[in-house]
Each structure stands twice: as structure tokens, then as C-alpha cells.
Amino acid sequence: MIRRIALLCLALALPAVGQTTLNGAGATFPYPMYSKWFSEYHKLHSDIEINYQSIGSGGGIRQVLAGTVDFGASDGPMTDDQLSQAKSKILHIPTVLGAVVPAYNIPGVSGEVKFTPQALAGIFLGKITTWNDPAITKPNPGVNFPNQPIIVIHRSDGSGTTYIFTDYLSKVSSDWQNGPGKGTSVKWPIGLGGKGNEGVAGQIRQLQGSIGYVELIYAVQNKIPYGVVKNAAGEFVKASLQSTTAAAGSVKNMPADFRVSITNAPGKDAYPISSFTWLLIPVQAKDANRGKIIADFLNWMLVDGQKLTTELTYAPLPENVVAKVKETVKQVH
């Protein structure tokens, strides 16, 4: 009896056997969605913990290349040069669709402001400097804009949200394409930096006369007004699940590696600053057990996880994309 009690005490004192912790890092754009998924998956598998650091897409790419995490995350696909530096083949696994919105804090203006591509490029190039500039007032008849300087807010860290926004600006403005260009980090002509979508949203809330770009859920959660944007078909479209899905529907032939841009998509219902976001998954995990867990999580995410997207203002992956991604996940081991 005493021996049984001693063994029981010893068992209680020992840590749980078989606990596995996966570490990931990267994009802030899908962070609210990933937090929800990792929490829900842990409820189903109490022996598995997935830690995710929301440090920006640039950081996620660097860490997955360095092998310091089990997976990375980015809203801007890795370049061929970056992929060539990887110790193991890295897969781009699309997870959800999101939208980047021009969010603003304009004194006396609370409604939706209409932005043309030319106005957005002009503002972020520093060529449009006051809120009552004709490039802003003309598409917004009846809105009383103040004669107030525009304060531009952009990301200070390497960011997939920046990649999406600058990818869009490069498509609609030759001045932007030939100037700052597109990337997770660019040389901004003007403005103040904020770290993460959270940092940019916080600056916009604090600074009257400001404008910045954030992922849709950060504008919604922080109750910051955001504008409608004129798309490639000439329609002013508000970011929503439907308009983001419409942008994804423009991709007729999804590339095998899923590295695709859907900014400035054709179609009258498409929101023009939309994007897939990706998990960066090494084909060969650090060990076979981790590879099995990662593959299992990805398959759960592609089915059950997609049902949770709309409550957090992300659009689910199109069904034809899910089918292709499931085949790709089979490579992970």
C-alpha cells in the first residue's frame, strides 16, 4: 500500500509525457485568426501547444529561413532568392483571405470617404498634402473636408500588410512603381512609422488628420473609419467578406506554389486591396512527430478552421483552392 502511494506521488510529480510545443512567427495581418485557430486546436489536442509571435512578415521569413521556428507566416510571398536560401523546401500554404483598408482620423468627417487609386498613391507619395485637396474632395461631393495637413502613417517593421498595399500601389501608379516599389519594407517618401497593424491603428486613433493602412479587422476592432476604394472596373467598393472573395475569384489559374497576387483584381465587385496570406511550412519538420502534428493541424485548418473565419472578418479560402492545398500538405513530414 505504501509502495502504491509512493508510486502515485511520483507520477503526480512528473511532468506530462508527450507534450509538444510548436513555435511560429510572422505576419500580424492574420494574427487574430491564427490565435483563434491555435486555441481551438489546443482544445481538441491538449497535449499540443502552438505558440505564435506576431512580429511581422519580414521577421517570419527570417526566422523560418534561420530554422529557429517550426513555421513562419507572411502576407507577401517569399522571393525565389529567399526560397533558395532555405535548408529544406518551404511550402506556401494559403490560410485565409483578408483586406487592407485605408483607415483615417479626419476631424469632422466620420462617414466613408471614397478614395481613387490616384489619390491614395498621391497621399503616400507626399504629393497630396491636405485633406481638402481636389483629388480627395471631387469623388466625395457633400463631404466637408478640413483644410488640414495629412499625417501619413506606415509600418516601421517588415510587413506583409505593407507588401499588399505597395503591391497594389505599384499596379495603379507608375510613379509608385518607379519610386518606392513593392516589398515587405520600402523607403517611404513621407510619414511616421508604427509597429505592427496594432501600432499603425493606435497612431491613427491618436493623431487627428492621419491616414494609414491596416488589415480590415484592426480597423473594425479599433472602431476606426476606413474608406471605400475605386477598383479596376471603376466601382467604389468597400472591404468585406464578399468583396474580398470576389477578388480571389479573379484567379482563374492558381499557380502550383500558391504564390499569387490578387490586388487590383478585375470584376466590378472585387475589393482592390485584397490578398491571400500564407503559412510558410518547411516540407521536412525538425522531427517526424512534429511533421505529423503540423500536417494534421493544416488539414484541420483547411476544413474546420475555415468555418471560423467569417466571425473575425476574414474570408474563407475558395473550395477549389482548399482541394489543391490538401494535396500539397501531403508533402509535409
pLDDT above 80 (res 14): no
| Encoded amino acid at 271, one letter | Y
Tell me, what CATH number does 71's domain have?
A: 3.40.190.10
DSSP state of 84: H
What mean pLDDT comes out for the span 77-90?
96
pLDDT above 80 (res 6): no
3-state secondary structure of 28: coil
Q: What is the DSSP string of 284-329?
A: S-SSHHHHHHHHHHHHHHHHTGGGGSGGGT-BPPPHHHHHHHHHHH
| 147 and 130 Cβ atoms separated by less than 8 Å | yes
Q: Domain ends where: 203, 230, 248?
A: 248
Q: What is the pLDDT of residue 8?
A: 47
**Which residue segment(s) compose the domain that 116 sits in?**
99-248
Q: How far is CA 41 from CA 38, 55, 76, 307, in A?
A: 5, 22, 25, 13
Number of compact structural domains in the chain: 2
pLDDT above 90 (res 3): no
Residues 30 and 159 grouped into a single domain: no
Closest by Cα among 138, 146, 135 to 110: 146
Q: Cα dihedral sign for 135, 235, 253, 326?
A: positive
Q: Domain ends where: 248, 268, 290?
A: 248
Residues 60 and 156 grouped into a single domain: no
Pairing between β-strand 274-282 and β-strand 90-105 as defined by DSSP bridges: antiparallel
Neighbours of 268 (CB within 10 A): 11
Backbone angles phi, psi at 188, to 5 degrees: -75, 135
Residues 107 and 186 grouped into a single domain: yes
pLDDT bin (cut points 50, 70, 90) of residue 321 is very high
Interval 180-190: pLDDT, tens: 999 999 999 99
Q: What is the pLDDT of residue 158?
A: 87
For cell 466625395, the residue is 140
14: in domain: no
12: in domain: no
| 75 and 160 Cβ atoms separated by less than 8 Å | yes
Question: How many C-alpha atoms does 324 have within 13 Å on its Cβ side?
Answer: 16
265: in domain: no
Interval 289-310: pLDDT, tens: 999 999 999 999 999 999 999 9
Backbone angles phi, psi at 14, to 5 degrees: -75, 145
